[in-house]
Structure 1
Amino acid sequence: MKKLNYLCYFIVFLIFVCGLVGIFYTTGGDRFTVENIYGESIELYGDGIYAYNSVFVVGVNKGTDYVMLIVAILFGIFTAIRSKSSKYKFVHVGLLTGILYYASCLVFGVTFNRLFLVYVLLFSASLFTYILLLCELIKEKNISEELNSKSLKGTALFMIVSGCSVLVWLPFIIPTITTGQPMSHIEIYTTEPTFVLDLGIILPIYLACGILVLKRKAIGYKLVPILLTFIITIGVIVIGQNIVQTSMGVDIPLESLIGLVFSFVVLGMIALILNIKFLKYIK
């Protein structure tokens, strides 16, 4: 257990390196315009570690960095106290889910820069620590038998709805596939890692969790607090992203604010309420 804790603290250190460099490191450069492979003019940020990312994406990255510094502190705190209660262990792994998602976006979505090996290290450390901690939780008898007598249809439905929320990406993907034209916001990138992570991993695991809870399976109950914590984290990240984007002068269409931002924030608030109630049934 101590070795795992050391690895968790190492992850906290790596997040601080990525986050602080992402936010504060500057090269004194200015924004400049390039032409992408589709002949479109794209404005790049031109400064700091994200110099060769678009202004829009830099707003997303920096906003995420701010929130992840807070998540890293919380993760460190729960690492220190997780042995005191299984409730802390579930929240701890839920926070690590957000960290793994963050690391995946950095290593696959950010234009190659001097922190690339740090991104890879954070991704690898988060992935294997996640596997070890999740296996530990699954093996333990930490779910109250009282849950078997409870109807959790509302929670199960919420998990399914949360999973389906990532389908908001389809209106961006399907027209591109049918017309053969480049995606409207693909900018200088070849693909969007978020689409892969959300549709390929998040969607099926949330659907599976909801179905397992409806069937009153123990594994479903164990996934609930982890995935609810992750939704809460995403809700806060979305807020941070939009605050930073607005401060950078990025214009966010009203339909995006409603469809992509407001919806995830509402899901995060509901997840917080459900998680507080659900954790009462953790031994």
Structure 2
Amino acid sequence: MIKDRQYNIGLVSIMALLTCLTIGAAFIGESTQDLQTFVSLRGETVLLYGKGIYAKEAVDYALQAIAQDIVTLLVGIPMLVYGAVSKSLRGRAVLVGGLAYFLYTYVSYCFLLQYNQLFLVYVSLMSLSFFGLWHNLPYLKGELVKTMLEPVLNRKSYIIFQWLLALMLSAMWLARIIPTFWGDFSKIQLAHYNTAVIQVLDLGIIVPLACISGYYLWRKTPTGYLLTLILMIKGAALGTALLAMIVMLILKGSAVSIVECIVFTVMIGSIDLLAIRLFMKLPA
């Protein structure tokens, strides 16, 4: 029978190799076509990236994917490696949070990006992160997490942040979605994609989880402490990726919403600070 540590080291090794493959494909590859402009089924003018594995993506989407690839390599993989080799509660928490980040990332890649040669790699990374979470979550016991954090954690700040996060994500995405009810697709910016995958993940999973996590933390249950720990660490990694996307879009001269940039920057700074504080309170 494969031992826990061997399982995690093997899992992370495979995921690291596959992630490096996706990074290489994103940066290696000549232009396959000139930038093409066409009108989507919804009447939106779309400019394609035209280079490498993201050649058929809209320019802004391709730039965001490249930024996220960089963060996955420089932040996501080190999180998994640290978690796999560590024998501490802190390491296990980082591993679970990192796997949650990978699951969110590659679910979005599988269902959002245009079909390309790395499709099976995206599916593999999604599947590996899911079953990695399935394996590791039972080891991250809620009672133990509560015992370690309850004496030192300021619950109020984490409860308020998670509820504010749910509120801000809901308000921001619904402001884009609701106008589509009467045919205005300009704000949701679907380009040539079928549906709003990120909004599906956020409104369908992240928002409810943040609400539930805050509620259970308010009730001082082990589930509340456990969910808060996972969401904070996963959120810090994803927040770093979002910040990289914003910087990439600004550097490339893409049009960005100043309001959304400010909201995301405040959210990212807050979640990074709260995640670091939580991480430092776990025993090493």
Decide: shared fold, TM above 0.5: yes
Matched AA of 1:138: K
> How far does the alpha carbon of each residue in 1:182-224 deviate from its partner, in whole angstroms, 9 at most, with x for none?
3541111111100100000000001100000000001111122
Aligned partner of 1:77 in structure 2 is: 81
SS at match of 1:45: coil
SS state of the match for residue 264, structure 1? helix
Q: 1:225 is matched with which residue? A: 229
Q: Answer yes or no: is the 8 Å Cα contact 1:78–1:92 preserved in 2.
A: yes
Could you tell me which amino acid in structure 1 is paired with residue 73 of structure 2? L
Which residue number corresponds to residue 243 of structure 1?
247
Aligned residue for 1:127, secondary structure, equals: helix
Native 8 Å contact 2:142 2:223 kept in 1? no
Per-residue CA deviations over 1:100-154 (Å, capped at 9, x if unaligned) read 1111111011001111111111111111111221222137734426616865122
TM-score, structure 2 as length reference? 0.89
Alignment CA distance shift 1:46-1:118 (3 Å)? same
In the other structure, the counterpart of 2:258 is: 257
Tell me how far apart the structure 2 counterparts of residues 238 and 27 of structure 1 sit (CA, whole Å). 26
Structure 1 residue 36 corresponds to structure 2 residue 40: yes
State the match for 1:186 in structure 2. Answer: 190
Q: Which residue of 2 aligns with 1:147?
A: 150
What secondary structure is seen at the aligned counterpart in 2 of 1:42? strand
Q: CA deviation at 1:81?
A: 3.1
What is the root-mean-square deviation in Å for CA atoms of aligned residues? Answer: 2.1
Distance 2:106 2:155 in 1: 32
Secondary structure of 2:141's match? helix
Q: Shift of residue 44 of structure 1? A: 0.9
Q: Is the 8 A contact 1:29 1:47 kept in 2?
A: yes
More moved, 7-16 vs 21-30: 21-30
Residue 140 (structure 2) aligned to one of 134, 137, 142: 137
**Pairwise mapping of residues 101-112 of structure 1 onto structure 2 (< 5 A)?**
101-112=104-115
With over 3 angstroms needed to count, the CA separation of the structure-2 counterparts of 1:101 and 1:163, relative to structure 1, is same
- The percentage of aligned residue pairs carrying the same residue is 27
TM-score, reference length from structure 1:
0.89
Aligned residue pair count: 277
Q: CA deviation at 1:248?
A: 2.9
Change beyond 3 A, Cα 1:25–1:118: same
Q: Give the residue type in structure 1 aligned to 2:109.
A: L
For residues 1-283 of structure 1, the aligned pairs below 5 Å read 1=4, 2-83=6-87, 85-138=88-141, 141-144=144-147, 147=150, 152-167=155-170, 168-177=172-181, 179-184=182-187, 185-252=189-256, 256-259=257-260, 261-283=261-283
Distance 2:163 2:48 in 1: 38
AA partner of residue 272 (structure 1) = D
Distance in 2, Cα, partners of 1:36 & 1:105: 21
Q: Secondary structure at the match of 1:106?
A: helix
CA distance in structure 2 between the partners assigned to 1:146 and 1:102 by the alignment: 28
Q: Which runs of 5+ in 2 are unaligned?
A: none
